[in-house]
Structure 1
């Protein structure tokens, strides 16, 4: 990971301003990678947009269902964040465009994710989360996608969500297969639009693709 981070920093150092996106499914390692990258920059040189603020939550997700093939039969399940309709895409697109055009941004405010003042003149802006996966790649100067196999994702969800979010482990196991199926159907294909692809299956760190744009 450290080698890739240093390469990314070298890339951004050649530019006056850079907007990065770091994406992936839940528990793919995107937040850890984005945080590690952000912390390497000197104070004031980078800022981090946590795109969870742009996920549409609450009753909308509970009452909206998708129909798809699941375990060799037709099934219904409520929409997860692996589907683009769960995200306020226009809001994030607007905010990234404002930063690029020299305007500061105030992100949405939630009890679990307070608003953040983003500075348009900051040299590096890191947009981390699932939401930017579904935006046009032209909005970003460099795009990084992380993923794992199903077993690694489940293991990480159990470790993280039970210890830090108070979730029931049995509920996590019951919902995992549907989450993974929706990832395969609605999100996985987007990784072809990313410059860098990282496979963290088995808790390894394998860079499968690394193409740094010249534009």
Structure 2
């Protein structure tokens, strides 16, 4: 099994890069794990307390469970991947059965911040987009998909997203094997990733 870690700031276009890579590989050979599924269980907190959690800090992620799941998949066994609700700010009771594949892609803003997780990746990719572009994408997504209003998103960007990006995400570029500028469909970068994957799988 080949494990690929894809990191980058919020709204940088990680999902697009993941889709581009998946399109270059045979059907049924790629599995996806999202860091968003591994936010810590906040059942013991009130809704007001959950709303105030800094979800852009590494402490908000259950990295221990993520590492256990990656180890289980690498051993050839399936996992029950948590499902997280961004409306309720908590895990749901549902899980997604995730089977081991030849290529597993792990994507998320903070996945390169923990050495024990980072060292499990065979290929580490950082997707770069400028801050204005990332803010625009974040606004569109959070308002349309997560029930936020524009003032809430802008306040969160200034108070947590931007400083957390500068402290925990941007410095992780140094650990990346490949940095992809995601201002358009980057065929050269995706071709390089496909070549690396095929070389490692052969």
Alignment partner of 1:48 out of 19, 32, 44: 32
Of 144, 152, 173 in structure 2, the residue corresponding to residue 163 of structure 1 is 144
Q: CA deviation at 1:87?
A: 0.6
Equivalent residue, structure 1, for 2:154 = 173
Q: What residue number does 2:21 align with?
A: 37
Cα deviations across residues 46-93 of structure 1 (Å, max 9, x unaligned)?
1111221102365499659xxxxxxxxxxxxx6533321111011101
1:89 pairs with one of 54, 59, 63: 63
Pick the aligned partner of 1:107 from 81, 84, 87: 81
Q: TM-score, normalised by structure 1?
A: 0.71
Contact 1:22 1:144 in 2 (8 A): yes
The Cα RMSD (Å) is: 3.0
Indicate the larger mover: 27-36 or 38-47: 38-47
Q: Could you list the runs of 5+ residues in structure 2 that have no partner in the other structure? A: 87-91
CA-CA distance at 1:131 after TM superposition: 4.3
Is residue 51–residue 130 contact of structure 1 (8 Å, CA) maintained in 2?
Answer: yes
Structure 1 residues 198 and 82, CA gap change in structure 2 (3 angstroms)? farther
Count of residue pairs brought into register by the alignment: 181
Higher RCO (CA < 8 A, seq sep 6+) = 2
Q: In the alignment, is residue 192 of structure 1 matched against residue 166 of structure 2?
A: no
| TM-score (ref. length: structure 2) | 0.75
Cα distance, 1:36 vs structure 2: 2.9
In the alignment, the residues of structure 2 paired with residue 47 and residue 163 of structure 1 have an alpha-carbon distance, to the nearest angstrom, of: 26
Give the direction of change, closer, same or farther, for the CA distance of 1:199–1:60 in structure 2 (3 Å limit): farther
Bigger Rg over Cα: 1
| Cα distance in structure 1, aligned partners of 2:128 and 2:48 | 25
